[in-house]
Amino acid sequence: MLNYFIGLTFLITASPACAAIYQWFDGDDNGSLWLSNSIVEPYSDLSYEILWWANLENANLHHTNLMLTNLTFANLENANLSSSNLSNANLFNANLENADMAFTNFTGSDLQFSNLENANMFYADFTDTNLSNIQNWETGYWLAARYTENTIFPNGMDPTAFGMIELTVPTPGVLYMASFSLFLHRRRR
């Protein structure tokens, strides 16, 4: 009788805990499945998660923190990632077809071989991002997206032709001189 009570208690208490566990696709067909205890909804903190092969099609993830998240081979088709933080995220070979990524921060991210067909990247920040070998970049909406000289583009892509804005980073010497002159100006008063 005691074992029955313990088993029933376990089922009652374990059920709510399992509700937040998501099972992802077995992309390499070796029988392993990636699990995550993250709840997928807007304004979530999914930073540092391992979400390989995650099927997040039509997911509403606006304003979500995905910093340093591994989304290798993830399906984010039609996902809303607007105003999210994907800095230093790994989106290698991710499907971002028709995804809304307006105002998203991709600083230092790896988007190699990702599919950006009809993706909206309005005013997204691609500072120091690796965009080499991205697929269908010609159909994406890049207007006002920002980049630096360290951003790696796919062969044949001219960022200015798509209305992207290059951010120039001042050299440290210029910043030093500007702060020094401001200091001298304040001392004279």
State pLDDT tens for residues 87-122.
Answer: 999 999 999 999 999 999 999 999 999 999 999 999
The span from the CA of 134 to the CA of 48, in Å, is 23
Q: How confident is the model at residue 40 (pLDDT cuts 50, 70, 90)?
A: confident
Give the DSSP per-residue string, 75-102. B-TT-B-TT-B-TT-B-TT-B-TT-B-T
Q: What is the DSSP letter of 60?
A: B
How buried is 159 (Cβ within 10 angstroms: 0-12 exposed, 13-18 middle, 19+ buried)?
middle
State pLDDT tens for residues 50-61.
Answer: 888 888 999 999
For the CA atoms of 106, 28, 32, 21, the dihedral, rounded to the nearest 10 degrees, stands at: 40
